[in-house]
Structure 1
């Protein structure tokens, strides 16, 4: 299925019968039937987990590898929605927030295994990602991640406390 395409596949079959249950012949009987399989696009994301950012001079960075499985040889869209941006700032910028309502803006980008890199804005749909061919299409635990999430903050000078954001990833067929 990893190299197939979406659509309807059909096959015709014929069952032959030549005897009764007591072994007497009834002659040949044919029963034709058709089987149809409709392969719909299936997209699944896995391997996401918390990311701890590491200070790098004036900023902080972090990355994490995860997997997007796409059955049916289809392209997909990816959307990353920020809880802080949606509920507090109502902006397209990503930000971390601490308990005192202080914010640190950050940039988010994602690379796929083929080298495509896209910079994200909050809740913006990035279209046209290509599926990844075998063996990475299977997304078996963490052995075959095919996407890398990169985060880097703007200035962290003077920032104290624990800053957080919750991201929601949504993948859909393209």
Structure 2
């Protein structure tokens, strides 16, 4: 009589672990960034400009964003200390101003974009203005009649700073923060009078890790043993190594086990390898193994370049009854 044998089947469930940092926003009250440039009775000034902007981001957020600052920019003719409009010695006549933003260092701009850490594009704009800033692009700020001092809200501006999730994930950054240094430049409509003040944007990234691409496995029997392999992805931000723990639902601390409907079991082992040639054999529900290298590409470039390989092996299938044997394996990853 020929015995009918059904190949063992292993089900693998991915686990997602994310660690988060607390948000840290800049204190915007009483910011001291300023400049005052005057020549030939003309003046251009910035007051109350914040020189540091902190944004935070974690994997559950679509973007890191900041709106605020409430700084003043005016261009005028007359007194630098005027409190009202007019052409007397202690008064001023208003003129149009303009503004642009430039990178302080070569890594702070790339391909017409502002950059953080030389890797992550950041969007900067003025609240209420339709267009984003681009490096060196100048935006005109027309004056309002009768509004001559920084206390007038018509002369006050907020920055909107945004970093999108997509740009962060595609950056390949492995550190927990990215910094960009920039300069805000203000101009007078008459002549070449201008002033400048530097500022910094810091993006803090929560350490995060994600496992994906795992599928159920159908083991293939061959000469008294059975095995199967698959590739999967472990992506991480803010860490260069991670630990991986394997837990068999039917197994124990000594071995992983497949089980059939009659409670007969088959022991199996699992070999894991990463793209850095680290290889480890797992057998039994034990402590996690550390030192694995994650991918710095989100979803491993849509799973075209998965960085992990898993191989399951059953050494002796002849010793058990025919039937379907299965187990649920859970893989848990954590940043080192």
CA RMSD of aligned residues (A): 2.7
State the distance in 1 between where 2:327 and 2:301 align. 27
Q: In terms of Rg, which structure is larger?
A: 2
Question: Does 2:234 match 1:71?
Answer: no
Question: Does 2:290 match 1:127?
Answer: yes
State the distance in 2 between where 1:140 and 1:9 align. 22
Alignment match of 1:162 (pick from 319, 324, 335):
324
Cα distance change on mapping 1:98 and 1:129 into 2, 3 Å:
same
For structure 2, the residue ranges without an aligned partner over 5 or more in a row are 1-170
State the distance in 1 between where 2:180 and 2:298 align. 27
Cα distance change on mapping 1:12 and 1:148 into 2, 3 Å:
closer
Cα distance change on mapping 1:110 and 1:32 into 2, 3 Å:
same
Q: Is the 8 A contact 1:46 1:139 kept in 2?
A: no
For structure 1, the residue ranges without an aligned partner over 5 or more in a row are none
Identify the residue that residue 102 of structure 1 maps to in structure 2: 264
Say how many residue pairs are matched. 163
* 3-state secondary structure, aligned to 2:327: coil
With structure 1 as the length reference, what TM-score do the two structures score? Answer: 0.78
Counting only pairs closer than 5 Å after superposition, residues 5-44 of structure 1 correspond to structure 2 as: 5-18=174-187, 33-44=199-210
State the distance in 2 between where 1:165 and 1:39 align. 37
Cα distance change on mapping 1:7 and 1:38 into 2, 3 Å:
same
